[in-house]
Structure 1
Amino acid sequence: MQWLDGHCDVLSKMWRDPKYRSFYHPQSSLDSSYHHLWEANVVMQVFAVWTPESVPKHHRLSVALKEVDYFYEEIVRDGSRVFLLTEGNQLEECSRDRMGALLLLEGADALQGDLANLRLFYRLGVRQMGLTWNYANDVADGILEERGGGLTCFGRQVIAEMKRLGMILDVSHLSDGGFWEVIEEKELPILASHSNCRVLCPHKRNLEDEQIKALIDRDGLIGMTFVPAFIHKPSVEATIDHLLRHIEHVCTLGGEDHLFFGSDFDGLDSKVSHLESYKHLPHLLEALHKHYADDLIIKWAWKNGSRFYKKHLSS
């Protein structure tokens, strides 16, 4: 079975510590190493470019550019085993032996208030962007910002430029107010790459039912994530069965054709037992098979995500 993973943090891990710049090594300590992904038959992986809050604002562009460089030098290389995805028709080329890789800018902090930098990242292959991480920036408020504001004036300019370029917007990490503003942008493809259901686990990073329904109405995607704190409270007790409850809840809201997975591997401080890396994906597959038919699992593992990206990725 083919898999599409909507979010991993390999690149920021590579930036933080040289020991993680070993994507292809058979003994790599990355959760999403090439060999783990190959064994799990992940044929498309979304790689996030993320700069931590600890990075001074005036250095965030340079850090993001270094992560993009690691993407090309350490992961894509000559394109023989992993290739850059920028167009929808390239999804047909994704296979176990030649994985497609999509670049996501996680948070617009790296733009440093300049639309020229958005165009720069687009020319470097970035086709998807989340406006914020958890806190406020020049574009919008993040979900953990206490005031809970929405888009700034510059944020509206960013949205307009994303639409002109044909980019995809990721609402994971965005404030609730920001979410409802961007959901009104009818010409903008929207997804939540790694967020679960707030009604089942009351973490702000999860989505309310009305947000999930809005994404479904927009023909967007909801990426079930493996972050224990977003799966169950207390997080130390989170299990694969708890994750399945989120999957079932999205389906009860009408999201069977809009659900996919966004692991957040290599960005996890703690992990669900038996789901510690892509090497352990068979445990999730076994649990899914106990409750769901093959055609549903295939949708969530590959078809829903690939349909969305085939439709919305532009060159």
Structure 2
Amino acid sequence: MTLNSATRLPIIDLHCDLLVYLTDVPNSDMNKIEEIGCAAPALTEGNVKLQVMAIYSATGIGSTRYAELQRDMFRQLTDRDNCLTAVTNVQQLHQALKQPGQTGMVAAIENAAGFCEEDEPLENGFKRLEKMIEVCERILYISFTHHTANRFGGGNSSNGGITMDGKMLLDYLHGRRIAVDMSHTSDALAFDILNHIDRERLDIPVIASHSNFRPMWKHERNLPDELTQEIIHRKGLIGMNFLRKFLNTEDPDALLHHIQYGLGKGAEDALCFGADYFYYADETDQSRYPFYYKEHEHAGNSYTYILNQLQSQLSNEQLQKIAYQNAHRFIERIWS
């Protein structure tokens, strides 16, 4: 039997940039599927029951103000009468999976520059992070960096490891039930984070919210096997990214191959989705088009298409784990 509107599975997705779109793009509209793949109607159509909303900032002057606009947009979305509802505790998480026509949402921070400028006291950054948690009520994960280096460490386009501020941020996160995201770290920073967590015996979950596998497609945004194994060992999550650039620019079935590769490496209880939908109409680099293969263009049909393609290869239990169970169990565990 194929998955259709009657049998489709609930979906949990670990990463999208709807907040950036709504705060940064003139005349943006959360209902415009033609402009962003995670528009609200697409999330509903795709049976997305929990969507993580990234608060993103580039490293640079004004990064915290840019993030505050998205923080406030998250709060506005929770206050509006629409299909999006905040999920900030385990009870709401359970309810989200059962609520017809609704998509739960929880905030995350993509680049710690969003709460701490490069040249201000770290204490100010921690106060701003506390305010962000207060306004959003919950932060699921924090990425220390984006593609460039910052005061906390090296981004995925750099070779830098962790800094003293990065270690202090880890110490601050101990026991706070906020995961550290490895999707935008340099390899050096990723392993420095893990070493510091182990050395100091810190209670911090680790994930890769929107990354694929480097042996399948050589790109610094994808995970090397050693890091994949660390995330699996630590009972973390690996969210499969739908961007063509991180899959294989010539193979429309590459996402399926990445999933099969992850399963072969023992990631059955870690794999989930991190589609990474964002607004790209202003992108001038023509080599990046199409950003997504046609079957992955928006949330309304992408997840069902992928799960349908996998049905002949995977058991129903494996499909459910990828669709929502792995992410659900992880969130339930770290929030309980």
TM over 0.5, shorter chain: yes
Aligned residue for 1:130? 143
Q: Is the 8 A contact 1:127 1:313 kept in 2?
A: no
Of the candidates 17, 25, 28, which is equivalent to residue 25 of structure 2? 17
Q: CA deviation at 1:313?
A: 2.7
3-state SS, counterpart of residue 178 of structure 1: helix
Unaligned runs of 5+ in 2: 1-8, 281-287
Taking structure 1 as the reference length, the TM-score comes to 0.90
Q: Structure 1 residues 101 and 181 mapped into 2: Cα distance closer, same or farther (>3 Å)?
A: same
Distance in 1 (alpha carbons) for counterparts of 2:160 and 2:58 = 21
Instruction: Pick which of 192-201 and 126-135 moved more.
Output: 126-135
Aligned partner of residue 47 in structure 1, secondary structure:
strand
TM-score scaled by length of structure 2: 0.85
Matching residue of 2:285: none
- CA offset at residue 163 of structure 1? 1.6
- Cα distance in 1 for partners of 2:330, 2:268 equals 14
Contact kept? 1:88, 1:312, Cα under 8 Å:
no
Q: Cα offset for 1:160?
A: 1.2
Q: CA 1:189 to 1:27, structure 2 compared with 1: closer, same or farther past 3 Å?
A: closer
Q: How has the CA–CA distance of structure 1 residues 267 and 172 changed in structure 2, closer, same or farther, with 3 Å as cutoff?
A: farther
**In structure 2, what is the equivalent of residue 117 of structure 1?**
128
Match of 2:13 in 1: 5
C-alpha distance in structure 2 between counterparts of 1:70 and 1:115, whole Å: 21
The 5-angstrom pairing of residues 1-315 of structure 1 reads 1-20=9-28, 22-23=29-30, 25=31, 29-52=35-58, 57-73=60-76, 75-78=77-80, 81-94=83-96, 95-110=99-114, 111-112=116-117, 113=122, 114-125=125-136, 126-145=139-158, 148-184=159-195, 185=197, 186-232=202-248, 235=249, 237-239=250-252, 241-266=253-278, 270-281=291-302, 282-313=304-335
> Residues 179 and 267 of structure 1: is their aligned pair in 2 closer, same or farther, counting only changes over 3 Å?
farther
**CA 1:230–1:310 in 2, change beyond 3 Å: closer, same or farther?**
same
Pairs aligned (count): 302
* 1:36-65 deviations in Å (ceiling 9; x for gaps): 111110000000111235xxx231111101
251-260 vs 180-189, which moves further: 180-189
Q: Which runs of 4+ in 1 moved over 4 A?
A: none
CA shift at 1:78, angstroms? 4.1
C-alpha contact (below 8 Å) 1:133/1:174 kept by paired residues? yes
Q: Tell me the distance in 2 between the aligned counterparts of 1:138 and 1:158.
A: 11
Larger displacement relative to structure 2 (300-309 or 107-116): 107-116
Stretch deviating more after TM superposition (243-252 or 290-299): 290-299
Confirm or deny: 8 A CA contact 2:58 2:113 kept in the other structure.
Answer: no
Identity of aligned residues (%): 26
Letter in 2 for 1:16: D
- Measure, in 1, the Cα distance between the counterparts of 2:193 and 2:57: 23
Cα distance 1:192–1:96, how it changes in 2: closer, same or farther (>3 A)? Answer: farther
